[in-house]
Structures are given as C-alpha cells and as structure tokens.
A and B are shown apart, each in its own frame.
Chain A
Amino acid sequence: MLRIVRLILWSMLFVAIWAVALQLKWSESTQWVIQMVPLWMLVSFGFFSLGKIGMSVAVFPTCLDAALDLQKEISQARVELEKNGVLEPTKTNNMMDKKGK
C-alpha cells in the first residue's frame, strides 16, 4: 500500500472518530476541547518539529580534526605524487627571480 494511501485512510479514521465525538452530548468546555483537538494537534506538531530541527542544528556534528588531518594528508600526497611524476612540482616563489630591483 502506498504511504499516501495509508495516510489518507488513517486521516479518514481520525476524522470519523472526531465527527462522532462532536455529535455526542458533552459539557460546554469539553465540547470546546473536542472541537479544538485537530488544531491543537497541528500546532503541537509544528512546535515539536521546530524544536527537533533547532536541537539537531545545535548538536550538528562537526569534524575540524578531520579537516586539519586532510590538509596534512594532501600535502603528503602531493610530495609523493610529485616524486613519481603524477603531478608537476609546484613552482617555488623565488624572490631572486624577480626582474629589476
């Protein structure tokens, strides 16, 4: 069964139960609460989602060490690859080569 189909079926079930609950005789305040349940669920879900996303950004795993190690490894690799001819040696910036004074 497709997800969307399952979602629609569950929604229909929820709406049916809610509609039945609305028909029954309750006190004023309970009646109001039942009316508000879908809205309350939506708002709660919204807040819950924001909270979850905010939390996950706050604890986002970073890896500075990996970045630093990688730079070292790239330098090492350059040296090796220049030795066996895969990469051209990088030109050195030699002050002596500058023309004029």
Chain B
Amino acid sequence: SFEIVIVDDNSPDGTQDVIKRLQKVYGDDRIKLRGRSGKLGLGSAYMHGLQFVSGEYVIIMDADMSHHPKFIPEMIAEQERSGADIVTGTRYVQPGGVHGWDLRRKLTSRVANYLAATLLSPGVSDLTGSFRLYRKDVLKTLVSQAVSKGYVFQMEMIIRARQNGFSIAEVPVTFVDRVYGASKLGGSEIVGYLKGLIYLFLTT
C-alpha cells in the first residue's frame, strides 16, 4: 500500500487546486497535501513531510516529471533484494541517463561529480541525485544531521549515511530535464556547491 505526501510551499501556479481535485478522485488518505505558507528549504520540506509519513519506507522525488514513477518498483525490488537502508537513483550509469542537457551542463555535472568523488570518495556514482528510497528512520536521522542546502544537501545525505554505517544500493534511472520549468545552474549555485563540498571535506 502507498501514500503520496506532497509538500507544496504555496506555489503560485495552481498546484494546490490540482492536488485537491486529485484528492477528490483518488482519496485524501492516499494523497496528502501538507504544505507550508512560505517557500522554505528542501531539508525542512523533508522534515515537514516526514511527520506525515505513515509507512516504513519513504521515496523522495521531484514532481516536475524529471523523475519517472516507473522506477519506484525497481527501487523497491532492489531494497528487498539487498536489504539496503538507502536505494539511490543514479543518472550516470546505463541504462540510466539524462535528456535535455547541453554539453556545458554535462561538463559541469561531470566536473562536479569528479571533485566530489575525489574529495569525499562516497562510493556512489550520482551524488547529487534526488530520486531516492530511504528507510523512514534513516531519513529522519540523516535530515536532522544535515546542514547544507541545495545540491550539497543531497550529497551530504550520502556522506552522513556512510558515516552512520548505513548501506546504500543504486538503481539506474532516466532523468528528463526541463519538461516543466527550467532547472537553474548559475554562478551562485556553483559557488554554493564548491563551498558545501569544501565544508564536507573538512568536517567528515
């Protein structure tokens, strides 16, 4: 059995209306809208959403169609097969992949990954991916320990998981970017990433 917890920070694009209509059709025991009034960060969104999770496992994913639900059964199967505490979707291992990135974006991602792998040796191929399955208490523990924001937050979750001795398995996933909305990767994101990387390198 499953439930969907949607943490929407009052998006001005009519998201809440659509969700309410979905609830009418599919039931509000299945589809839980637990939003907040202001736009707060990702980490706090996870913490907030976790309060309403009634199951033993949590899958976190983006809602802009870049993460495809068809990988959910695969992640569950991998968790059952390996007993891992975390199953992370990797975009960088075949048959996974990315669509919608130009050469510059691919290069940025590879350099970022290389830096992180060299400095932190995390043992996973996709450190900044956000399509993951966690055991609920593992997720709670990690979110409470994490201090970073943005892309670095996802990295920190993996690094802290290693520190805590949690086991991590990987499942290749496809990532179709920019179907809805544009993903932002400007100078400030890059600087933030490097700062976060150095912070993790010095403190773990």
Binding site for B on A (CB under 8 A): 2-4, 49, 52-53, 56-57, 60-64, 66-67, 70, 74, 84-87
0/1 interface trace, chain B 167-184, chain A, CB 8 Å (1 if under) = 000000011100100000
Q: How far is the CA of A62 from the CA of B91 in the complex (A)?
A: 9
- 15 contacts across the A-B interface (CB closer than 8 A): A3-B201, A57-B106, A60-B98, A60-B106, A60-B110, A61-B94, A61-B95, A61-B97, A62-B99, A63-B95, A66-B68, A70-B68, A70-B176, A85-B21, A87-B21
Tell me the count of chain B residues lying within 8 A, CB to CB, of chain A: 35
The A-B contact count (CB < 8 A) is 72
Q: Which residue of the partner chain, among B92, B119, B174, contacts A66 with CB atoms under 8 Å? A: B174
Chain B residues with CB under 8 Å of A66's CB are 68, 97, 99, 174, 176
A86 touches B201 (CB 8 A): no
Q: How far is the CA of A62 from the CA of B172 in the complex (A)?
A: 12
CB distance from B92 to the nearest CB of A (A): 6
Q: How far is the CA of A86 from the CA of B23 in the complex (A)?
A: 9
Chain A residues with CB under 8 Å of B203's CB are 2
In B1-38, which residues have CB < 8 Å from any A CB? 18, 21-22, 24-25
Given A57-B110, A70-B179, A63 contacting B98 (CB threshold 8 A): yes
Chain A residues with CB under 8 Å of B202's CB are 2, 4
0/1 interface trace, chain B 48-68, chain A, CB 8 Å (1 if under) = 000000000000000001001
Q: How far is the CA of A66 from the CA of B118 in the complex (A)?
A: 31
Q: Which residue of the partner chain, among A4, A49, A67, contacts B99 with CB atoms under 8 Å? A: A67
CB distance from A10 to the nearest CB of B (A): 14
Name the residue in B21, B103, B174 with the highest tally of chain A Cβ atoms < 10 Å from its Cβ.
B174
A61 touches B204 (CB 8 A): no
CB distance from B199 to the nearest CB of A (A): 11
Chain A residues with CB under 8 Å of B100's CB are 67
B84 within 8 A of A: no
A67 touches B201 (CB 8 A): no
Question: Can you name the residue of chain A whose Cβ is closest to the Cβ of B202?
Answer: A4
Chain B residues with CB under 8 Å of A52's CB are 114
